[in-house]
Structure 1
Amino acid sequence: MSSDMIERDSRRGGAGGRRRRPRGGSSTTGIGRKDYEVDTPPARPTIILAKHEDRDSPAVSQTSSNRDSTSTSPAPSSQLPEKPVMVLKSRDEGSRTLTSTSAITNIPAGTMQGETPPQTTFLQRTIESTSKLSLPLELSRCVKLIDDQSQWCEQASECLLEQTDFLVVGVVGLQGSGKSTVLSLLAGNTEADPLRNYIFPAQTREVREECGHMTNGIDIHVTSQRVIFLDTQPLLSASVLDQLINNDKKIPPEFTTSENFAEIQCLQHVMFLLTVCNVILVVQDWFTDTALLDFLKTAEMLKPSTPPSPGHDGTSTADDQPDFFPHVVFLQNKAKREDFTVENFTAMQKTLSTVLGNSKLKMKGDVAMTTGRQSFSLNPAFVKSELNMFLLPRFDANKRESTDQLQPQVREYQGHPSFQTLINSLRGQILSMPREQQTHTTLTEKNWFHYAARMWDSIKKSQILADYNRLLP
């Protein structure tokens, strides 16, 4: 075969029928074709991708991840984002959003790279950032509402809420009748508590021996059941008059004597309670003082009328709107054994109904002693009465204990239920009384406080009370 035929065959051979000219311009033979084929990329990546100086390059990292998916070399520590570290710190500082490590693994990759966090995490953080509702201030003792100088005090407003379900209970009575003690027991104290822990300070032995009094002005206390208790200084008290004279208190020029000033001051307190209270307790330690009943009728006569509600056009119509009067409960404190008999109890009811027959105060159908649950003798089968009257025995009588160690439950028959049984019954009946409104509009606790402040200011400036003062001797 000639050399020309061999050259033609070599040009026609190969997979694609294509030959490349040998490098260097020299002639080639069939044995050396394999060394001069087209350059094919190797199956494994080149060694240059594994060099240390190219690891930080983004292009090299992307090429390495695309071409070599089976590489087992660990990712460098410099590639970890810093965002998860911040999430872990917030969890360690008390955050409630992440409570376990499983919550971190559920965060999308976009969040780890600085993108917007999921909507659920944002809502949880928003709820966390909202301020919690603060509870009202709890008081262990009473605070001043009106001081001994007849000035209004604002510190009680911190205990009041913006809600309408509340009850206002006030108390009036003579000196030493037990007003503060009864009010403290109704507010939450028990007979086992010492006197120094009572909500309203009671008379100590030293004060009792000096014929003094404990309460000056009006004290206020608010319980957790939203009951507002008001305790007043004693009515027609010689101790109050003695305090005015001995302390050289300045008497306003419109009052001629200290006696008139003390009487007008007591009238102001009773008029105030008749205006702002739902329930008023009239406490007596003996039956009965007609001067106290006449004083109560005088305060009712001088009581300011209920402010009318504004009409649709902004004007007020007081002609067709009635006045509001509180419920009155007559409490016979320190009652004796004979007071629990049917004859004496019936005589008390008849006397009060006769003296206060023309009163507009709500004195019937709310608190009853004749339910048959407290005493067997005082039950509807023997006593027919609807007057709000209740009896409480002497407080010290229930504290006597039997000296017999074998029979500690046996006690001397007293002729009436125990003091604890009766005070619990009185508390339940008072707290279950209807919580009627004092004005023509519904008031919240804070609105009641501002309404009471306005009423006290109007009572002090009352022209009717000034005219009554000029008629006094």
Structure 2
Amino acid sequence: MAGSTGGTGSSNPSSAPPPPKILLAKPGLVTGGPVAGKFGRGGATDDETASLRSRLPSIGSLNLLSDSWDFHIDRFLPFLTENTDFMVVGVIGPTGVGKSIIMNELYGFDASSPGMLPPFATQTEDTRAMARHCTVGIEPRISAERIILLDTQSVFSPSVLAEIMRPDGSSTISVLGGESLSAELAHELMSIQLGVILASICNVLLVVSEGVHDYSMWRLMLTVDLLKHGIPDPSSILPSHSQSSNLGPEKENKDKVHKSEEYMAAPVFVHTKLDDQDLSPRDFSQLRKAILHYFNMSSFMRDKSRNMSKGQPLSSMASGMQSNDPDFTWPDLFVIPRKSKDDFPRAQYESYFSTLCKLRDQVLSMNCPPFARTVSERDWLKNSAKIWELVKTSPVIAEYSRTLQSSGLSNLSRR
């Protein structure tokens, strides 16, 4: 599998391993009939989906990162195996840009599956009207191809800020090891921490923006690149004794970090909801050059040279757009048109759904950066929890926070 961490599906080839569990959507209340196929392309409305979800029995949260900003692994761990041939794909972006829709496509959700809802809940008309977010922390799923998908809480979200703000303006969530912060600063640091953990534990990170003129996600990722120093990948933590899911402070101190080149997930820049006038090859080329210029001095450029062997970059444009410029192999960029009711291609441009399909095919076949060492799915999860503790106690991020406090600067998305 492209982007695998190496190895085979079982650490003991002499015995047949138990069949792996696949983390699917919650089952619906019906198993057939017209409702069964309503949740895919051209299917049920958002409100119908929300109505069915509201009638489902609660099975508890599977979120890795909770609304209290703590990392939990117990509920997700049973779905993982000792398999070492897997890929981790994460997504980050503001509210309403289509993150969950893209992740449902990568999962391979089939609308014809009887009684199944999409693996990741998407925005309804009500949540859009109330400016709410529908994903909290990090919500995981794992597909039949052993692709671990991490959908995430929106960054720069007014509803997240409102939820964590006390009447006095302080934050209800401790984002830096118990340090008291204003809600606005904590909100900004949460976006940075989310970007750092995803860049550390994923093979591929989808960076999603709306339109071609919103550069807030570029600024966030450049900040993530600057503040990620000292945060390893999940294969680089070498416990000095047998691992367990109990991650007490004394155990964390005994874990050793394998020294290797600083790891960074391969970014794929996705710009959604584009109008026809922004979909021409010329506009696409200009957007690619802008990203290339913006990240010219970042570690993403260091990783670019490593990925040149894969030839053409991921692209939603036609394969006829060739170039002899070596920089053309980076960045990986997808532009997705605004969804239309009939979803027919307009003029020479591809349709919304065909572009989503192409994104899925190309992401899952990426030659993405492997982790430094071979690691199993279960160890990936256990070590990701330890990496989260390193993120929350990062002296680099803490110093950045103090600089913002002393200078009065905040609100990364507006700078």
What TM-score, normalized by structure 1, do the two folds share? 0.62
The aligned counterpart of 1:359 is: 298
1:370 deviates by 6.6
Given the superposition, is the C-alpha separation of residues 190 and 348 from structure 1 closer, same or farther in structure 2, using an over 3 Å criterion? Answer: farther
Distance 2:190 2:114 in 1: 32
Query: Cα 1:455–1:394, aligned 2, differ >3 Å: closer, same or farther?
Result: same
Following superposition, the deviation at residue 385 of structure 1 comes to: 2.9
Which one-letter code corresponds to 2:328 in the other structure? S
Contact 1:282 1:329 in 2 (8 A): yes
2:125 corresponds to which of 193, 197, 205:
205
Return the match for 1:293 from 218, 228, 246.
Answer: 218
Which aligned pairs between 1:7-18 and structure 2 lie closer than 5 A? none
Instruction: State yes or no: 1:347 paired with 2:286.
Output: yes
Q: Which residue of 1 aligns with 2:402?
A: 470
Structure 2 counterpart of 1:262: 187
1:147, distance to aligned residue in structure 2 (A): 0.6
Match of residue 92, structure 2, among 148, 151, 172: 172
Match runs of 1:243-254 below 5 Å: 243-245=163-165, 250-252=172-174, 254=179
Q: Is the 8 A contact 1:255 1:469 kept in 2?
A: no
- Whether the aligned pair in 1 keeps the contact of 2:67 and 2:136 (CA below 8 Å) is yes
Distance 2:335 2:164 in 1: 34
In structure 2, give the amino acid aligned to 1:238. P
> Structure 1 residue 146: deviation in Å?
0.8
Q: CA deviation at 1:237?
A: 1.5
Distance 2:273 2:111 in 1: 15
Question: Contact (CA 8 Å) 2:86, 2:146: kept in 1 or not?
Answer: yes
Q: 1:382 to 1:468 in 2, by over 3 A?
A: closer
Change (3 A) 1:453 1:249: same
DSSP-derived class of the 1:385 partner:
helix
Question: Highest CA radius of gyration, 1 or 2?
Answer: 1
Question: Cα deviation per residue 1:32-72 (whole Å; 9 max; x = unaligned)?
Answer: xxxxxxxxxxxxxxxxxxxxxxxxxxxxxxxxxxxxxxxxx
Structure-2 residue corresponding to 1:425: 358
**Shift, 1:137, TM fit:** 2.6
Q: Distance in 1 between matches of 2:342 and 2:111?
A: 12
| Structure 1 unmatched runs, 5+ | 1-130, 402-410
From 324, 343, 347, the equivalent of 2:263 is: 324
Aligned amino acid, residue 222 of structure 1: I
Q: Deviations over 1:299-335 (max 9, x none)?
A: 111113427677xxxx98977x311221111111122
2:247 corresponds in structure 1 to none
| Amino acid across the alignment from 2:271 | Q
Q: Within 5 Å, which residues of 2 pair with 1:11-50?
A: none
Unaligned 5+ segments in structure 2 are 1-14, 27-61, 239-254, 409-415
- Using the TM superposition, give the Cα deviation of residue 155 of structure 1 relative to its aligned residue in structure 2, in angstroms: 0.7
Q: CA deviation at 1:251?
A: 4.1
SS at match of 1:467: helix
Q: Distance in 2 between matches of 1:160 and 1:450?
A: 11
Q: Which residue is 2:314 aligned to?
A: 368
Does residue 459 (structure 1) correspond to residue 384 (structure 2)? The answer is no
**Counterpart selection for 1:147 from 44, 47, 66:** 66
Local SS of the residue matching 1:145: coil
Q: Which amino acid aligns with 1:323?
A: E
In the alignment, is residue 380 of structure 1 matched against residue 306 of structure 2? no
Q: Which whole-Å deviations, capped at 9, do the CAs of 1:216-262 have from their partners, x for residues lacking one?
A: 11110000100000111111211211122279963446233100111
Which amino acid letter does the alignment assign opposite residue 124 of structure 2? T
- The one-letter code sitting in structure 2 at the alignment partner of 1:358 is M
The code of the aligned residue for 2:82 comes to E
Map Cα deviations across residues 81-114 of structure 1 (whole Å, 9 max, x no partner): xxxxxxxxxxxxxxxxxxxxxxxxxxxxxxxxxx
- CA distance in 1: counterparts of 2:189 and 2:93, whole angstroms: 16
Report how far residue 435 of structure 1 moved.
5.2
Q: Is the 8 A contact 2:274 2:338 kept in 1?
A: yes
Change (3 A) 1:400 1:276: same
Greater share of residues in helix: 1
CA RMSD of aligned residues (A): 3.2
> What aligned pairs does 1:36-435 form with structure 2 within 5 A after superposition?
133-141=17-25, 143-153=62-72, 154-190=74-110, 197-245=117-165, 250-252=172-174, 254-303=179-228, 304-306=230-232, 321-361=260-300, 362=303, 367-369=313-315, 372-373=318-319, 379-380=321-322, 385-386=328-329, 387-395=331-339, 397=340, 399-400=341-342, 413-434=346-367
Contact 1:147 1:216 in 2 (8 A): yes
The alpha-carbon deviation at position 277 of structure 1 amounts to: 0.5
Supply the distance in 1 between the matched residues of 2:194 and 2:110 (Cα, whole angstroms): 28
Contact 2:207–2:217, Cα closer than 8 Å, also in 1 = no
Q: What SS does the corresponding residue of 1:182 show, helix, strand or coil?
A: helix
Is the 1:166–1:435 contact (alpha carbons within 8 Å) kept by the matching residues of 2? no
Maintained 8 Å contact 2:227/2:396: yes
d(CA) in 1 for partners of 2:108, 2:78? 20
- How many positions carry a matched residue from both structures? 323
CA deviations over 1:373-427 (Å, ceiling 9, x no partner): 5xxxx622799932211121223x1x417xxxxxxxxx67444122332222211
Contact 2:231 2:390 in 1 (8 A): no
Task: Letter of the 1:137 partner, please give it.
Answer: K
SS at match of 1:426: helix
User: What amino acid does structure 2 have at the position aligned with 1:151?
Assistant: D
In the alignment, residue 240 of structure 1 is paired with which amino acid?
A: V
CA 1:201–1:309 in structure 2 vs 1: closer, same or farther (change >3 Å)?
Answer: closer
- 1:340 shift after superposition: 2.1
Aligned-pair CA distance for 1:470: 1.2
1:135 to 1:193, Cα distance in 2 relative to 1, 3 A: closer
